[in-house]
Structure 1
Amino acid sequence: MLSAAMRIRLSLMMFLEFFVWGGWFVTVGTYLAADLGASGSQIALAVLTQSLGAILAPFLVGLIADRFFSAQKILGILHLFGALMLFLAGWQDTFGGFFVLALLAMIAFMPTLALANTICFRRMTSPERQFPGVRVFGTIGWIIAGLLIGWLGWETTGRLADTFVMAAIGSALLGVYAFTLPATPPEKRAGPATVRDVLGLDALALLRSRSYLVFFLASVLICIPLAFYYTFTNLYLNEIGVSGAAGVQSLGQVSEAVFLLAMPLMLKKLGIKWTLLIGMLAWALRYAMFALGDAGPLMWLVVIGLLLHGVCYDFFFVAGQIYTDRFAPSHVRSAAQGMISLATYGVGLLIGSLISGPVVDAFVAADGTHDWRMVWLIPAALAVAVAVFFVALFREDASAEDAGVRAL
Structure 2
Amino acid sequence: MSIKYRLTIMSFLQLFVWGAWLITIGNYWFGTKQWSGENFGDVFLTLGISSIIMPAITGIIADKWINAEKLYGILHILYGFVLFYLPQVDSPNTFFWVILMAMLCYMPTLSLSNSISYTILKNNNFDIVKVFPPIRVWGTIGFIVAMWITNLTGNKASANMFYIAGVVALFLGIYAFTLPKCPPQKLIEENASWTKKLGLNAFKLFGTYKMALFFIFSMFLGGALQLTNMYGDVFLSEFGNFEKYKNSFVVEYSTIIMSISQISETLFILAIPFFLKRFGIKQVMLISMLAWVLRFGLFAYGDPIGGLWMIILSCIVYGMAFDFFNISGSLFVETTTDSNIRSSAQGLFMMMTNGFGALLGAKISSIMIAKYFTFKFSNLNDLLNHFGTDVDNPAIKNILGNNKVLENNVLEKFVTVRDWSNIWLSFAIYALVIAIAFAVLFKHKHDPKDVESVTH
- TM-score, normalized by the shorter chain, greater than 0.5: yes
Identity %: 34
Please point out which of 103, 108, 113 is paired with 1:111.
108
Distance apart, 1:121 and its partner CA: 4.9
Given that 2:51 and 2:351 are in contact with CA atoms closer than 8 Å, whether structure 1 keeps it comes out as yes
Match of 1:133 in 2: 134
Match of 1:238 in 2: 237
Letter in 1 for 2:297: A
Please point out which of 18, 21, 27 is paired with 2:18.
21
Q: Looking at both structures, which has the greater relative contact order when contacts are Cα pairs under 8 Å and sequence separation is at least 6?
A: 1
Match of 1:280 in 2: 289
Given that 1:128 and 1:264 are in contact with CA atoms closer than 8 Å, whether structure 2 keeps it comes out as no
Q: Distance in 2 between matches of 1:78 and 1:386?
A: 36
Letter in 1 for 2:27: T
Distance apart, 1:6 and its partner CA: 4.5
Match of 1:257 in 2: 266
Distance apart, 1:196 and its partner CA: 2.6
Matched, 1:188 2:187: yes
Q: Distance in 1 between matches of 2:446 and 2:338?
A: 11
Matched, 1:63 2:96: no
1:238-387 mapped onto 2 (5 Å cutoff)? 238-241=237-240, 242-324=251-333, 335-361=344-370, 362-365=372-375, 366=377, 367-387=415-435
Distance 1:337 1:307, change over 3 A: same
Given that 2:280 and 2:446 are in contact with CA atoms closer than 8 Å, whether structure 1 keeps it comes out as no
Match of 1:200 in 2: 199
Distance apart, 1:11 and its partner CA: 3.0
How big is each residue's C-alpha offset from its partner over 1:335-363, in whole Å with a ceiling of 9 and x where there is no partner? 44443332112111111111111222221
Match of 1:406 in 2: none
Letter in 2 for 1:293: G
Letter in 1 for 2:318: H
Q: Distance in 1 between matches of 2:340 and 2:131?
A: 21
Q: Distance in 2 between matches of 1:398 and 1:57?
A: 35
How big is each residue's C-alpha offset from its partner over 1:278-328, in whole Å with a ceiling of 9 and x where there is no partner? 112111111000001111211110111111121111111244345545666
Q: Distance in 1 between matches of 2:180 and 2:333?
A: 24
Please point out which of 429, 437, 442 is paired with 1:394.
442
Distance apart, 1:248 and its partner CA: 1.3
The TM-score with structure 2 as length reference comes to: 0.78
Q: Distance in 1 between matches of 2:106 and 2:155?
A: 24
Distance 1:229 1:166, change over 3 A: same
Matched, 1:218 2:217: yes
Given that 1:57 and 1:338 are in contact with CA atoms closer than 8 Å, whether structure 2 keeps it comes out as no
Please point out which of 7, 14, 17 is paired with 1:10.
7
Letter in 1 for 2:313: I
Deviates more, 1:309-318 or 1:170-179: 170-179
Distance apart, 1:153 and its partner CA: 1.7
Please point out which of 164, 167, 171 is paired with 1:169.
167
Match of 2:87 in 1: 90
Given that 2:264 and 2:316 are in contact with CA atoms closer than 8 Å, whether structure 1 keeps it comes out as yes
Given that 1:78 and 1:175 are in contact with CA atoms closer than 8 Å, whether structure 2 keeps it comes out as yes
Letter in 2 for 1:173: F
Deviates more, 1:20-29 or 1:88-97: 88-97
Q: Distance in 2 between matches of 1:121 and 1:398?
A: 30
Letter in 2 for 1:230: N
Structure 1 stretches lacking a partner, 5+ long: 403-408
Given that 1:279 and 1:311 are in contact with CA atoms closer than 8 Å, whether structure 2 keeps it comes out as yes
Distance apart, 1:10 and its partner CA: 3.4
Distance 1:88 1:278, change over 3 A: same
Deviates more, 1:175-184 or 1:95-104: 175-184
How big is each residue's C-alpha offset from its partner over 1:345-385, in whole Å with a ceiling of 9 and x where there is no partner? 21111111111112222212333121111101111111112
What is the alpha-carbon root mean square deviation over aligned residues? 2.9
Q: Distance in 1 between matches of 2:278 and 2:181?
A: 34
Distance 1:320 1:87, change over 3 A: farther
Q: Distance in 1 between matches of 2:304 and 2:238?
A: 10
Larger radius of gyration: 2
Distance apart, 1:209 and its partner CA: 4.7
Distance 1:350 1:279, change over 3 A: same
Given that 1:57 and 1:111 are in contact with CA atoms closer than 8 Å, whether structure 2 keeps it comes out as yes
Match of 1:142 in 2: 143
Q: Give the match's secondary structure for 2:280.
A: helix
Letter in 2 for 1:185: P
Structure 2 stretches lacking a partner, 5+ long: 241-250, 378-414, 451-456
Letter in 1 for 2:270: L
Distance 1:172 1:320, change over 3 A: farther
How many equivalent residue pairs?
394
